[in-house]
Amino acid sequence: MSTADTTTNTTDTTNTNSGSGSGSGSTTDTAVTPSAPGTGGPGPAGGAPGARSVVAVGTDEGRIGLRANLRHIGALARRNALQIKQDPESMFDVLLMPIIFTLLFVYVFGGSVGASLGGSRDDYVNYVIPGLMAMMGMNISMAVGTGVNDDFRKGVMDRFRTMPIARSSVLIAKIVVEIGRMLVAIAILLGMGFLLGMDIKTSALDVGAAVGLSLIFGASLMWIFILLGLTMKTAQAVQGVAMLVLMPMQFGSSIFAPTSTMPGWLQTFTDYNPLSNLADAARGLFNGGPVAHSVWMTLAWALAITVITAPLAVAKFRKKS
């Protein structure tokens, strides 16, 4: 037999084997995409000219184990953290907002509100700093929504959705990094409070509990803003809608002043406002006093918000084009 005949038979055998394998009940849908010429990695991002790679499409989260899911979250969180390193200006809100708000409220409202509390500006510092912890979480959470919206506009999320990773891991990684940013903001806020004469009347454990409660509630709010970021068409729209939510919740609460002088209808609103519960809980953990009701109400709000909005956000992420 000639060399040409041998080559022909070998090719036919290979094609026959490939065809027989295509009908074997595969459980993962895949799409073959050409690699970009001249780049150094597989898939859409790289590969040798003419090479092809298999990219998972429509990966089912239920088939991804917990360990793999955590590994994906860690890798994506590292990617988000490196973005902050490359763009230090994105930390300006975290670094400057606690300083500006502390000085603004203490020196503008501290004298009058402090007197209404039966003390002075120094007493108002002890009142407003725990309340501002609740405000920090809500303002920083808004950045998650605009960031998700911007990633979709740039096509980053489309790339993530072609990878064999859990869809929720992309969103959870963003929340992990924003919790880190929130922790930095709270540390600066407490530093400003101590500089202005704040006096902790409880223990370091109570202060840590107040910080942890603020982080838990802030993380739950991030799901709301992620859902907004996935729903609105532009980052400006996300910011506009977010401000409509932020303003009444922040100023219609006990963050900045006691609610006893407010009209009855507004007091009813503040009683059910989760920011009031968080501010009162943090204030009790800092200054002493009953905290059980406020703590449990804050945790209940955080759980309810997460249970409702997290599945909606993940479902929206799956379907968004």
Lowest-confidence region among 1-15, 74-88, 244-258:
1-15
CB 294, CB 150: distance < 8 Å: no
Residue scoring higher pLDDT (190 or 141): 190
86 or 221: which carries more pLDDT confidence?
A: 221
Q: Report how far residue 249's alpha carbon sits from residue 268's, in angstroms, rounded to the nearest whole number.
A: 13
Distance between CA atoms of residues 125 and 113, nearest Å: 10
The torsion of the CA quartet 254, 124, 93, 158, rounded to 10 degrees, works out to: -20
Are the C-beta atoms of 145 and 238 separated by less than 8 Å? yes
User: Which of 223 and 119 is assigned the larger pLDDT?
Assistant: 223
Q: Shortest CA distance to 192 belongs to which of 258, 117, 297, 95?
A: 95
Q: How confident is the model at residue 181 (pLDDT cuts 50, 70, 90)?
A: very high
Question: Does pLDDT of 155 surpass 80?
Answer: no
Window from 28-37, 99-108, 165-174, 280-289 with minimum mean pLDDT: 28-37
* Closest C-alpha to 62, from 106, 102, 27: 27
pLDDT at position 321: 58
> According to the model, what pLDDT value does residue 84 have?
84
pLDDT at 94 over 60: yes
Asked if 124 and 117 count as a contact pair (C-beta separation under 8 A), the reply is: yes
Confidence band of 211 (pLDDT split at 50, 70, 90): very high
Measured distance CA(244)–CA(269) in Å, rounded = 16
At residue 73, the pLDDT reads 85
249: its two tokens: 């919740």
Taking each helix axis as running N to C, give the angle between helix 167-195 and helix 92-116, from 0 to 180 degrees, rounded to the nearest 10.
50
**Amino acid residing at 165:** I
The better pLDDT of the pair 35, 268 is held by 268
Measured distance CA(109)–CA(101) in Å, rounded = 11
Per-chain mean pLDDT for the chain: 79
Is the confidence at residue 58, as pLDDT, over 60? Answer: no
Per-residue confidence (pLDDT) for residue 153, from 0 to 100: 81
pLDDT score at 156: 73
121 has a pLDDT exceeding 60: yes
User: Averaged over 142-154, what is the pLDDT?
Assistant: 83
Q: What are phi and psi for residue 307, nearest 5 degrees?
A: -65, -35
Q: Higher pLDDT residue, 23 or 219?
A: 219
pLDDT at 249 over 80: yes
CA distance 140 to 279: 16
**Over the stretch 277-311, which tens digit does the pLDDT of each residue have?**
999 999 999 998 889 999 999 999 999 999 999 99
Q: What DSSP character marks residue 36?
A: P
Q: In 196-234, which ranges are continuous DSSP H helix?
A: 204-231
DSSP 289-318: S--HHHHHHHHHHHHHHHHHHHHHHHHHHH
Looking at residue 179, what is its pLDDT?
93
pLDDT at 68: 78
Say if strands 30-34 and 52-56 run parallel, antiparallel, or are unpaired: antiparallel
Look at 24 and 91; give whichever has higher pLDDT.
91
Q: State both tokens at 231.
A: 């729903």
Q: What is the pTM of this model?
A: 0.75
Give the span between the Cα atoms of 258 and 159, in whole angstroms: 49
Rounded-to-integer distance, Cα 50 and Cα 68, Å: 31
pLDDT of residue 43: 41
> Do 215 and 185 form a contact (C-beta atoms < 8 A)?
no
pLDDT of residue 208: 94
- Which residue has tokens 């006096």? 199
pLDDT at 33 over 50: no
Beta bridge partners of 54: 32
C-alpha to C-alpha distance for 175 and 171, rounded to whole angstroms: 7
DSSP 196: T
Q: What kind and span of H or E run contains 45?
A: none
Q: What is the pLDDT at residue 77?
A: 87
Asked whether residue 25 carries a pLDDT value surpassing 90, the answer given is no
182 has pLDDT over 50: yes
Q: How far apart are CA 193 and CA 98, in angstroms?
A: 10
